[in-house]
A and B are shown apart, each in its own frame.
Chain A
Amino acid sequence: MAMTDRRRFLIGSGAAVALPLLESLLPRSVRAELPAPSKRFITFYRPNGTNPNVWFPTPGASEREFTLGEIHSPLADFRNELIFLKGIDMDVCSVGPGEQHQQGMGALLTGREILSGPFLGGDGSRAGWANGRSIDQVMAEKLCLGLPLRSLELGVRILGDDVQHRLSYWGPDNPIAPLEDPSRVYARLFPGGERVLRAGPAQISVLDAVMEQYRSVRGRVSRSDARRLDEHFSMVRELEQRLAAQAAVTCESPGAPEELDPLDEDNMQVVARLQLDLLLLAFRCDMTRVATFMLSSSLNHIRYPFLESMYEDHALSHSSMLDDHRQGEWVRRQRWHMEQLAYLLRGLASTSEGEGTLLDHTLVFAGSEIAVGQTHSHRDMPFVLAGRAGGALNPGRYVQLPSRQHNDLLVTLLRAMGFSHERYGHPDFSSGPLETLLS
């Protein structure tokens, strides 16, 4: 792959800029000279399921004539970029140990059950990590060849580090931790305050020496230790290939974000905004094409003081569907989640790329790990797709399916992104793509 073009984005004046203002300083276009703009994939996660009575749109006479409910009103501008889905079941969660939140987190992007492990589930069973690679990582391996970052995993108030706090998996039993501090994300995008051409011949020869040390030491450790090293070094080798194909990227830093406690409930709004700005920045600079964004984690107990909503989130999601007061409070939170999604979509849609916008070339998969907060079911999962994935999707629809498996949705997402998978995840739950979604 020959990518020799030079890119340079001048962002801001170089003065120290505290981030929330960043968005106005971001580049407004992705390099237009690419022959065929590449596709991007973003997972947008929000926790603890929903109340289906208020989540799903009101259907109209045809798929295109639906009416958004109050949770989704912030997305009104993007109505024609969305596909609401009903009828997707995540039955793979009936396999293996764990309780439903854990199972749902494990399965959401992998389509696999979770393994036995160290985490105690509500039913007394011992849950571990998911037993498969997640689709974002499958996509990253191909889509991000030649880019500085393989993928970007971002979180807002994750507050934990076990199975219910992880979505993306490099492989079975090997989750990827999201970064929940914007200043850490910034340091990853701009190590040393800048991002310049990184993969000179010197860096490649360094990685060659690393690989040689690995080969040399591998013969002297036990078989099981060698397996652990093999896992590490398949990642190094992939990194080397990616860097060897890398174009010269110069993307100037807009200045580091203000230091703040990313876990403080009073900072949640600002942190969410900063993380989305950094995600948009990475995409506009073409540092990566795959990202996962987690708006807190499953089973969380957080409050939303900026919405004057002071009940614990998990308890709120459990509250009776007949309790208007509690349900109203929960709807406010979910509407705020959708405001964040709208902000992301707006950022993508306002970035021009080639003949269209970044959103035209992106597929956003928005979802939660369970369907109904009160019952924890995995039936009729609250999933929304956004963007056109380079024309692979035909949005602006409310698609009601006669009970199809989530694994088939994962196959469909892979297809939309240019992959040719027939099945994905657990073989018992995967039969083929949802053709109706693909244009």
Chain B
Amino acid sequence: MKQSFPWIILAVVGCENVVGAPEEIPDWAAASRLAPEAELDPCAEPSVSETAPRLLTRYELDNVLHDLFGTAGSPSNFLPGENSVAGFVTDSDAHRASSVLVESMVDLSRRVADETVMRELSAIAPCATPSDLIDCGRRFVAEQGRRIFRRPLTDEERAVFERLFAQSVPSEGYAGTVSLVLQAMLQSPQFLYRLETAPERESLDGYAIASRMSFVLWRSTPDAQLLSAAADGSLVTSEGIRAELTRMREDPKHRRLYRDFGRQWLGLDRLEGFARDALSDADELRAREALEESILRHVERGFEEGFEAMMTSPELALTGVEDLYDPRAPRAGLITHPALLALLSTPYGSSPVRRGVYVREHLFCEPLPAPPANLSIDPPPPDPNATTRERFAQHTANAGCAACHVRIDPIGFGLEAYDELGRYREWENGARVDTTGEIVGTEDPVLRGEFDGAVELASRLAQSTQVRACVASEFYRFAMGGAAGTEERCSAHRVARALVETGSFDAMIETLITSDAFRLRRSESPPNDGDSIDPSWQEMPQLSVDTAPVLSVDPPEGGRLTGWADDVDAPEVPLRVEVYAAAPMGVGRYVGATQTDLDRPDAPPGRGFELSLTEVQRGEAIFPVVFDPLSGEAVIAEEIEWR
């Protein structure tokens, strides 16, 4: 059982940035190591989505139960937390069933079903003629089954629940039986997972599209009207989808999309447990709640008004904490929101590192590695006689740290006018705050270069193609349950283009909902009936471990570098080779790249490579690297002296 990793297409390698072809919208978040750019025409075939069946998250489960039965509060609160990838708990590979979840669903479904029956029996399962309970049960199974399963039940399924109904009525009574059947439905895979059935590269049926739409737009289950649209076939046409999209956007449930995305994208869970030495416990509690609500409202407003407003609006509506923040302080959108600035601080001071890392990872889509284990990572201690900037200056003075931190800290320095609570300051420890910063290591000309202060930074972020494409790809990952796979890149690209070109989140969402990847699904044939249904644990194989590629480099000669590379796990895929000078990848200078496509006698066919390096000095050390196409991992060769 070899795993496919939808995340391998993220561009991450040590601290080296990867960029796309400049004339196109660079595929910032999807510079794939799988298929080199030259071969890549992502729109040659219609995109198909590749995600595994999606298990409802706790937030989705609460919404669904509320929308189906009016269940109040957060019934899922004792379920185990989701696992996440890059902050998103909607990732279909990370959020999986566990024995704890399965067991907890027994209790959850019983509580919800009993409570619903007590409150709503006549609405859920009306029965005017108590003499004919079985008939009432049959209607109840069909009607509620369709709502709960988000599609009509098959004959076989109807029989399962009718049988449970008939056998339980004598001992449990009508209400008790309705509850039991609800419990069974709520624990069924069709409810807990968003299951879709579609032959390869064919459109999903109306019900599957209805579920996709409602889970993206409402973070919940389809309503009656959407199910009708699924039933009458209108959701298999673009016009039909657009019509429902328009209607669904008007529904207040649409706000859940903005809030759920905002919460995961900005990591707002971490506001719980937020501690600031400057505040009393009571103020901490108040600030925590008010700041979360304020930034979520800002995200909502940004989604409605557009990317520019999200990134630059000076109005941040800090209701409930007005006393902590000077209303005259300069503010410019998300990056200056006190909630985000406070999250990206330590309890005792602003953190240029956390702020810089956030910008690189979540706005530039360049994940950064943690510091190497062998590096001393003592953060500079608080010093009443120095500014934060002065203390952090050592980072860029130490060569080991500087390799990564030149990309991180100078961005954070530009936000130094805001302290650990996001309060504006012009002075720190008796010195005037220096808010100049710099963005290096990016190809986007709008971003690159020196800047002064948060307002200038915000305006660059708002205009940057890279940032827009990144935010769109984060949204895509959230909405589709994982980063775009290799076969959905055309759609992902168009979604990014929509935000880049229009700055409108509405346009971005509409592009997603009407895209091929949203309506087509890749799936293999259904399993044979003869397959064993429940593989016992012992039969389940351990997942195979990816083997690292090998790289062999010949002694350099005549300005050319030759050699071969191979990866036994991926015999069909050309391997990407990059070369760095003076120091290894992450620290050294990028001087060239190629892929394996030559034959040579000492290597498997097509595994040789050759490239000329014009930017390397004779005598300088070079460090070739080959990438594992499955894991994205880099294998670094020994240092070679260039001649």
Contacts and interface: CB of A to CB of B under 8 A. Distances in A.
A177 interface: yes
A222 B53 CA distance: 10
Nearest to A176: B98
A276 interface: no
B623 to A, nearest CB: 13
A210 B184 contact: yes
B576 to A, nearest CB: 15
B370 A116 contact: no
Contacts of B124: none
Interface string B472-509: 00000000000000000000000000000000000000
A125 B97 contact: no
Interface in A232-247: 232-239, 243
A188 interface: yes
A431 B284 CA distance: 53
A141 B538 CA distance: 13
A177 B98 contact: yes
Interface stretch (A28-36, A151-159, A388-396): A151-159
Interface stretch (A260-268, A339-347, A353-361): A260-268
B156 interface: yes
Nearest to A101: B373
Given A116-B546, A153-B80, A265-B273, A212 B160 contact: yes
B98 A174 contact: yes
A270 interface: no
Contacts of B184: 206-207, 209-210, 213
A123 B416 CA distance: 30
B96 A99 contact: no
B183 A117 contact: no
Contacts of B14: 124
B102 A239 contact: yes
A222 B189 contact: no
B83 A221 contact: no
A24 interface: no
A238 B83 contact: no
A209 B378 contact: no
A214 B96 contact: no
A218 interface: yes
B78 A187 contact: yes
A227 B1 CA distance: 10
Given A261-B273, A299-B370, A166 B83 contact: yes
A303 B349 CA distance: 14
B630 interface: yes
B270 A230 contact: no
Nearest to B540: A171
B368 interface: yes
Given A125-B633, A218-B533, A220-B197, A172 B53 contact: no
A122 B369 contact: yes
Interface stretch (A9-17, A63-71, A126-134): A126-134
B474 to A, nearest CB: 14
A319 B634 CA distance: 29
Interface string B516-548: 000000011111010101111100101101100
Contact of A237 (B84, B94, B374, B534): B534
Contacts of A124: 12-14, 369, 585-586, 633-634
B168 interface: yes
Interface string B107-142: 110110000000000000000000000000000000
B80 A177 contact: yes
Interface string A198-211: 10001101111110
A120 B633 CA distance: 10
Contacts of A237: 534
A270 to B, nearest CB: 13
A198 B347 contact: no
B523 A203 contact: no
A213 B160 contact: yes
Contacts, number: 301
A115 interface: yes
Interface residues of B, number: 108
B99 A239 contact: yes
B379 A116 contact: no
A101 to B, nearest CB: 8
Given A175-B83, A198-B106, A206-B164, A219 B527 contact: yes
Contact of A238 (B99, B372, B586): B99
Contact of B5 (A116, A153, A222, A318): A116
B614 interface: no
Contacts of A132: 542
A135 interface: no
B53 A216 contact: no
Nearest to B161: A209
B202 to A, nearest CB: 12
A128 B91 CA distance: 13
A222 B104 CA distance: 27
A121 B368 CA distance: 9
Interface string B359-391: 000000001111111101111000000000000
Nearest to B354: A301
Nearest to A186: B78
B373 A99 contact: yes
B85 interface: yes
A151 to B, nearest CB: 7
Contacts of A180: 81
A221 B526 contact: yes
B542 A97 contact: no
Contacts of B527: 218-219, 221-223, 226
Contacts of A263: 272-273
A179 B372 contact: no
B100 to A, nearest CB: 6
Nearest to A205: B164
Interface in A145-179: 149-151, 153, 157, 159, 161-162, 166, 170-179
Contact of B85 (A118, A150, A177, A231): A118
B372 A266 contact: no
B400 to A, nearest CB: 12
B534 A191 contact: no
Contacts of B190: 213, 217
A114 B98 CA distance: 18
Contact of A122 (B82, B103, B371): B371
Contact of B100 (A151, A301, A320): A151
Contacts of B396: none
Contact of A126 (B97, B104, B347, B631): B631
Contacts of A222: 523-527
A312 B346 contact: yes
Interface in B185-241: 185, 187-190, 192-193, 195-197
- Please indicate which of the listed interface residues A212, A301, A314 has the most CB atoms of chain B within 10 Å of its own CB: A212
A215 interface: yes
B545 A131 contact: yes
Contacts of B83: 129, 161-162, 166, 175, 177
Contact of B633 (A126, A235, A262): A126
Nearest to B111: A192
A115 B545 contact: yes
- Please indicate which of the listed interface residues A124, A125, A202 has the most CB atoms of chain B within 10 Å of its own CB: A124
A223 B526 contact: yes
A8 interface: no
A112 B543 CA distance: 11
A228 interface: yes
A437 interface: no
B408 interface: no
A431 to B, nearest CB: 19
A73 B184 CA distance: 52
7 contacts: A96-B545, A124-B634, A140-B99, A223-B526, A234-B534, A312-B346, A315-B378
Given A202-B180, A215-B533, 11 more contacts: A120-B367, A120-B370, A123-B369, A124-B14, A162-B83, A170-B99, A214-B188, A218-B527, A232-B189, A263-B273, A318-B377
Top 7 A-B pairs, shortest CB-CB distance: A263-B273, A222-B523, A191-B107, A116-B631, A187-B78, A209-B184, A177-B80
